[in-house]
Copies of this chain bind each other. A is one copy, B any other.
Amino acid sequence: MSRPDQPRPLSGFPEWLPGERLAEQLVVDHLRRTFELAGFSPLETRAVEPLSQLLRKGEIDKEVYVVRRLHDDAHEAGSPDVAEPDEDALALHYDLTVPFARYVLENAGRLEFPFRRYQIQKVWRGERPQEGRYREFRQADIDIVGRDTLPFHHDVDIAQVMAEALSGLPVPPITLQLNNRRLIQGFYEGLGIEDPAVVAAVIRAVDKIDKVGAAGVRQILVEQEGIPGPVAEACLSLAPIRTADSSFVEQVRALGVKSDLLETGLAELAEVMEGARAVASDRVQVVADLSIARGLDYYTGTVYETRMGGFESLGSICSGGRYDALAGDGRTTYPGVGISLGVTRALGPLFARGFVRLNRPTPTYVLIAVPDEDQRSACRTTALELRARGIPVEVSPSAAKYGKQIRYAERRGIPNVWFPAGATESGEAEVRDIRTGTQVSAAAWRPDADDLAVHFAG
């Protein structure tokens, strides 16, 4: 075993170096700015929820981290403390949707609906760690929730805002994939498949097309679900449809299947496509992809997924959709639509491959050289003046020879060194850009507006 003083990383709990954390902050800043420009309010919920609430929501029981006071553990071993039963039933949230739904129910009387919020927080899942899969990771969610009703047009807002947000990130090109549960279900209805259990089984079977091939899916549908051969083949005809515009509508209509629900789904997907395409770019492409099946079990209308170019093995890094009942308390139902970006899931693999670069890895723009310790107080005054001008600055930690102080700045990635008056050839204070060697009078020196703040490079 390792010594108690020898710390080691915990698998699945990534931590960044300071420069990586700067990059992550820039990503979060950009997301936050985009969401706020679109009128989403910030929200943060506590890290814990009652375990019983988390377990009610799905098949996630093996992934939940239970939280207990050590004090209570001691009680359990001896005399059970029945005075604090709730203490025994807390767990870390595994997503931001369940806590948000609970928050909406708890604060419904103090919120205005439709309520649009964003939430950027860590979540925890006890999954087996691998690339892009962590036990602690940050998500960035936007959701719009209504009371009793939520007009469809909000589905368009969500696609548009997340497409805008993704456009501004220093990540490989993203494909936003759109589908609609009503379209799929309506198509199967038109084929005569109406039993919800069979619809779900067909969706699951068609989702296996990459693994077992069209013939394999057809076999499952016929042999396990008792679907007639020609109908089974028709079920397969939606999956290949993938269009960058609304032409999917004609392609579906050409299949000759008809139902009201199918028409609703087609109209909704066409409208979301139109809205998302209005903000598409070479950084974010939008496709209607009728093979998207994951999530159709949870969602009731629009479904969003994404792929990151060159990182397709990560799966969808940003997913969501429409819920007819995001939350409900028996009296009131709160429908919602939202999407969640896996910030850590996307950045972790990008950091590992050196994909994200900054103009410098530290906030500091200027290091003030210290001629000798007696002048440190004067150097500090200069630092205060520069900070008041919005220039990130620190005073050299030692009054070593200037060469050594310059090398310290180089190692830290600080681009400029300020030499105080009296310690230069001119006798005046001077500033050197140590990347270029250019040295100018401090009185004439101005920070480069494009370089002053830390930003993404290249």
A residues neighboring B (CB under 8 Å): 3-10, 13-19, 21-22, 24-25, 36-48, 51-53, 56, 61-71, 73-74, 86, 90-92, 102-103, 105-107, 110-112, 114, 116-117, 122, 124, 126, 136, 146, 151, 153-154, 156-157, 160, 164, 274-275, 278-279, 328-330, 362-364, 373, 376-377, 380-381, 383-384, 387, 390-395, 397-398, 408, 411-412
CB–CB B136/A377 < 8 A: no
Asked if A392 and B7 make an inter-chain contact with CB atoms under 8 angstroms apart, the answer reads no
B392 touches A38 (CB 8 A): yes
* C-alpha spacing A151/B411, complex, angstroms: 20
Is A394 a contact partner of B154 (Cβ separation < 8 A)? no
Chain B, residue nearest A42 (CB):
B21
List 22 A-B pairs, Cβ < 8 Å. Answer: A4-B56, A6-B105, A18-B42, A18-B111, A21-B43, A37-B387, A37-B392, A38-B393, A39-B392, A41-B363, A46-B136, A51-B70, A63-B69, A63-B70, A67-B67, A67-B92, A71-B126, A116-B394, A146-B397, A154-B397, A156-B380, A160-B380
Contacts of A387 in B (CB 8 A): 37-38, 164
CB distance from A285 to the nearest CB of B (A): 18
**CA–CA, A278 to B384, complex, Å?**
9
- A40 cross-chain contacts in B, Cβ below 8 A: 363
**Known interface pairs A41-B21, A66-B68; A8-B394 also in contact (CB < 8 Å):** no
Residues of B within 8 A of A377 (CB): 274-275
Cβ-neighbour of A15 out of B46, B105, B124, B408 (below 8 A): B46
Supposing A17-B110, A48-B136 touch, asked if A68 and B65 sit within 8 A by C-beta, the answer is yes
Other A-B pairs, 19, CB within 8 Å; known A17-B107, A17-B111, A47-B47: A4-B52, A4-B56, A5-B329, A5-B330, A17-B110, A18-B111, A19-B41, A42-B363, A47-B136, A61-B71, A62-B70, A62-B74, A66-B70, A66-B73, A112-B408, A146-B397, A151-B397, A153-B376, A156-B380
Which chain B residues lie closer than 8 Å to A110 at the CB level?
Answer: 17
Number of copies of chain A assembled together: 2
Question: Contact between A151 and B91 (Cβ–Cβ < 8 Å)?
Answer: no
In the bound complex, CA of A361 to CA of B394 (Å): 36
Q: Are B15 and A44 in contact (CB under 8 A)?
A: yes
Q: Which residue of B lies closest to A92 (CB)?
A: B67
Residues of B within 8 A of A52 (CB): 4
**B residues in contact with A411, CB < 8 Å:** 112
Q: CA A102 – CA B63 in complex, angstroms?
A: 26
In the bound assembly, the distance between CA atoms of A380 and B272 in angstroms comes to: 12
The residue on B at minimum CB distance from A331 is B5
CB distance from A50 to the nearest CB of B (A): 8
Contacting residues, chain B, for A61 (C-beta < 8 A) = 70-71
User: Are B278's CB and A5's CB within 8 A?
Assistant: no
Q: Which residues of B contact A111 (CB under 8 A)?
A: 17-18
Cα distance, A114 to B151, chains bound together (Å): 56
State whether A45 and B15 are in contact (beta carbons under 8 Å apart), knowing that A62-B70, A70-B61 are contacts in the complex: yes
Expressed in whole angstroms, the minimum distance between the Cβ of A354 and any Cβ of chain B is: 15
- Set of chain B residues within 8 Å of A412, measured between Cβ atoms: 112
Given contacts A9-B106, A42-B22, A64-B70, contact A384 B330 (CB under 8 A): no
Residue pair A38, B394 in contact (C-beta under 8 Å): yes
Please indicate the chain B residues that have their CB under 8 angstroms from the CB of A124 in the complex: 47
Q: Considering residues A39, A110, A384, which has the most beta carbons from chain B within 10 angstroms of its beta carbon?
A: A39
Chain B residues with Cβ under 8 A from A46's Cβ?
A: 10, 13-15, 136
Please give, as numbers and ranges, the residues of chain B lying within 8 Å of A41 by CB-CB distance: 18-19, 21-22, 362-363
A160 contact set on B, CB distance < 8 A: 380, 384
Q: Which of A42, A47, A105, A330 has the most CB of B within 10 A?
A: A42
B39→A86 contact, CB < 8 A: no
The 7 closest A-B pairs by CB, nearest first: A39-B394, A18-B41, A36-B363, A69-B126, A39-B364, A13-B46, A62-B71
Rounded to whole angstroms, the CA-CA distance of A156 and B63 in the bound complex is 47
A7 touches B53 (CB 8 A): yes
Inter-subunit contact B394/A278 (CB<8 Å)? no
Asked if B66 contacts A397 (CB within 8 A), the reply is no
